[in-house]
Amino acid sequence: MTNGYPALAATDVETLVQRIETDLDAIQLIDVREPHELEIASVPHFVNLPLSQFPAWSPTISTQFDPHAETIVMCHMGMRSAQMCQWLSEQGFTNVKNLAGGIDAYSRRIDRSVPIY
């Protein structure tokens, strides 16, 4: 437990790619970055739920996504996605993972054609 909250589960970009390649139907992918960030760099299969638009999408999160399916959350470096993982857990999501290093790690370690910003 850290700061009164349970430690968040995390996954790395290598595991993300393996899950996308072998079991895409079993995972849910959420990108919490802003639209202008998506214009710079993105990863296929992620649903964009920008944190700045939280009031628009938060009421339907448990009907848009399965609270019990593996859910991987991404942002630029991992801070905003950690906030989202905490919030999802508070909403009853039971298998939430923060993508360690975010799209920055993906760009550096998986696909160098994805711009670093």
Active site amino acids: 75
HSE, side-chain direction, 13 A CA sphere, residue 56? 6
